[in-house]
Amino acid sequence: MSSITQSLAGARCLITGGSRGIGLAIAQQFSLAGGSCILVSRNEEALLKAKDTLHDNPEHLVMAGDVGSYTFWQEIAKHKVCTFSLEEFFLFIKKMRRKKFIIA
């Protein structure tokens, strides 16, 4: 097992735009390195197809919805897929925007 695989084994990553393009490529590499992915996109059918391209892991999840909607993030929080609260997440986003980071 490589050191990268060891460091990502048991890790979980929430990836917006995870059904195609760069988001899907990140998910594929993350899963190959031992992590589990939560793929987020508006199109559930595309998400299910994308999930099938990931390294086999029963922990992978798909969540279809609009990331621009507060209600969508409330739904994410209900499923306890993340270890941070919804308020902590939005505080993080607010801080990152002040620092002029691009969040994709």
| pLDDT (tens digit per residue) in 41-93 | 999 999 999 999 999 888 898 989 998 888 888 777 776 666 666 666 666 66
Distance CA 39, CA 49 (A): 11
Residue type, 87: E
Distance CA 34, CA 30 (A): 7
CATH superfamily label, 3-98: NAD(P)-binding Rossmann-like Domain (3.40.50.720)
pLDDT in tens, 12-27: 888 989 999 999 999 9
Look at 1 and 44; give whichever has higher pLDDT.
44
E-only strand ranges, the chain:
12-16, 36-41, 61-64
Per-residue pLDDT at 47? 95
Distance CA 44, CA 50 (A): 10
